[in-house]
Amino acid sequence: MKTIYLISKFITLPGAFLKGFWEHLACRLLHIPVENANYLPADVHCGHVQNSPAQSPAQSFLLALLPYLAQRALAWIFIAAAAPPLLLFGVRSAQESHFFFLYLVALYFGLSLLCNSFPSWPQAQQQWRLFYGETAQASSTAKILLAPCNAWFFLGAWLEKTGIFTLVLFAAVIASWILW
Q: What is the pLDDT of residues 2-60, one digit of tens each?
A: 788 888 888 889 999 999 999 999 999 999 999 888 888 877 677 888 899 898 999 99
CA-based max dimension of the chain: 62
Q: Nearest to residue 109, comparing CAs of 163, 38, 170?
A: 170
Output the pTM of the full model: 0.87
- So what's the pLDDT on residue 74? 96
Query: pLDDT class for 116, splitting at 50, 70, 90?
Result: very high
Q: What percent of the chain shows pLDDT beyond 70?
A: 96
Q: What are phi and psi of 7, to 5 degrees?
A: -65, -45
Work out the pLDDT band at 93, boundaries 50, 70, 90.
low
**pLDDT on residue 151:** 96
